[in-house]
Amino acid sequence: MHALRARNDGPSELPARLRILVADDNRDAADSMATLCHIWGHEARVAYDGPSALKILAAEPPDVVLADLAMPGFAGDRLARELRAVPGGSYFTLVAVTGYSGSEYRDRAIAAGFDHYLVKPVEPSALAGLLSDIHRKAHEIIAQAGDLVGRASDLTRETQVLIAEARQMCGASN
């Protein structure tokens, strides 16, 4: 699992940077946000519409998706539902980035599957802080997963010992 990326080969070390997909029909906004992400040391790809975002996601799953809610023909809440429906869709963090500040928009975005909600214009420090928090939490999850794998291995060994002892006891009583 790379950061919050869906993979089936178990926990591993988290890279120093996040893979970020920026989906926004406003090219200037999308490119600016991607540039900031690059400056902060992350890898960022850009999609200017919902269908392109889905294609990028299918080809190379990101750790974080920053998505506009008001893309024409493919609203962000629809994008969120479709992203969450793909295999591994729960492994990345989905952030709504929108000009809509009302609580009804926030509620609808969260119900559609967004994890966070940022209102444009987004303060760079707020975005940097959110990405830092996401990265830190991913590190914590990876560490917890490693601990669980270790505990599962210990329990497997203990179970094998108990089964061997039980077989010996059953064999000795015959």
Q: Domain total for the chain?
A: 1
Strand residues in the chain grouped as ranges (E) = 19-23, 43-47, 64-67, 93-98, 116-119
pLDDT confidence tier of residue 14, bands split at 50, 70 and 90: low
77-117: per-residue pLDDT in tens? 888 888 888 777 788 899 999 999 999 999 999 999 999 99
Q: If we measure between CA atoms, which residue out of 131, 109, 135 comes closest to residue 34?
A: 131
Q: If we measure between CA atoms, which residue out of 1, 125, 109 comes closest to residue 63?
A: 1
Looking at the domain assignment, is residue 174 inside a domain?
A: no
Provide the whole-model pTM. Answer: 0.76
Looking at the domain assignment, is residue 152 inside a domain?
A: no
Domain around 63: 19-146
